[in-house]
Amino acid sequence: MPELPEVENARQVVEKALDRVIASIDDTDEFVCRPHGPGEIDQALKGGRLTAAHRRGKTMWCDTVTADGADGPSLGIHLGMGGRIFVTGPSGDAESLYAGGDPHVGGMPKKADERPDKPEWDRFRMTFDDGGEMRLFDKRRLGRVHLEPDVDALGPDAAEITRDEFRARVGKGVVAIKAKLLDQSVLAGVGNLLADETLWEAKVSPSRPAGEFSVAELDALRTTLRKAARDAIKRGGVHTGEVIPHRAKDETCPRCGAPMERGTVGGRTTWWCSAEQAD
């Protein structure tokens, strides 16, 4: 699930956790919270508060203050391959639940495995002194929570990148354009689905070398990407993309009817229109 649009959705849910006093933290999952040892994050943040929720690409982080009002360490949260954020209000009950990283914004997920009632899939939990909580729910366990995340290694956010930045960062090298879009140090936030959706909308072959693009083509690609990202945020996730349901065997392009083709580009399964996105 989580690409830029889902993470932005999750970030907005994390904002529901701001300015509430942290009573305790369960950071005992050593894989998710590495390299911190159990209790380390708890010790650093207990008694303090989260004061702001930021996002760049797929990485979120919160500013914090300690109990005495001094600046605390930032808290990084990454949803990995399938993580979600749940926050409950002061009552702590299900009625006050906010779900982030999920397509059904504000509603309860329908699939059993997406419901928040599998305690063994809770990988991190922050309990507030008002009775509510924030937790990372992640059945695949590839999410991350850690102190002081290094966001400088990320490129500009894919929904915000400027025209000049895009030209300079994306339009060079011999790697496939899709691999370039997926490189988080080039620009941050594009995942496998958003890449396929963007390239399909732009009628660009995913395997075409990035350095071959003209300035005009790069500008057009950037416009398409930002539109795809923002539309997905608005609609609740990348899965709302037009071509996404057609990423399957025996499917056809929803625009021209030609067969969809499957392959591997940038190490990821890739689908494209065999006619409009030919090399």
Partner DNA sequence: AACAATGTTCAGTC
Partner DNA sequence: GGACTGAACATTGT
Residues at the contact surface with DNA, assessed by CB under 7 A: 1-3, 6, 31, 57-59, 78, 80-81, 113, 120-121, 139-142, 173-175, 179, 184, 191-193, 237-239, 266-269
In Å, the largest CA–CA distance within the chain is 63
Q: Which residues of 12-28 are buried (b: 16+ CB within 10 A; e: fewer)?
A: bbbebbbebebeebbbe
Q: Which helix (H) or strand (E) holds 192?
A: helix 192-201
Identify which of 194, 182, 176, 189 has the alpha carbon closest to the alpha carbon of residue 243. 194
For residues 130 and 165, which CB has a smaller minimum distance to DNA in the complex? 165
Give least dist CB 129 to DNA, A: 30
> In this structure, are residues 120 and 49 in contact, taking their beta carbons and an 8 Å threshold?
no
For residues 79 and 253, which CB has a smaller minimum distance to DNA in the complex? 79
Give least dist CB 18 to DNA, A: 23
For residues 2 and 206, which CB has a smaller minimum distance to DNA in the complex? 2
What is the C-alpha to C-alpha distance for residues 191 and 175, in angstroms, rounded to an integer? 16
- Residue 37 DSSP one-character state: P
For residues 192 and 205, which CB has a smaller minimum distance to DNA in the complex? 192
Give least dist CB 193 to DNA, A: 4
Give least dist CB 156 to DNA, A: 14
Q: Which helix (H) or strand (E) holds 125?
A: strand 122-128
Give least dist CB 72 to DNA, A: 22
For residues 48 and 149, which CB has a smaller minimum distance to DNA in the complex? 149
> In this structure, are residues 153 and 187 in contact, taking their beta carbons and an 8 Å threshold?
no
For residues 72 and 191, which CB has a smaller minimum distance to DNA in the complex? 191
Give least dist CB 42 to DNA, A: 20
* Token duo for residue 92: 């702590």
Quote the distance between the C-alpha of residue 33 and its chain's center: 18
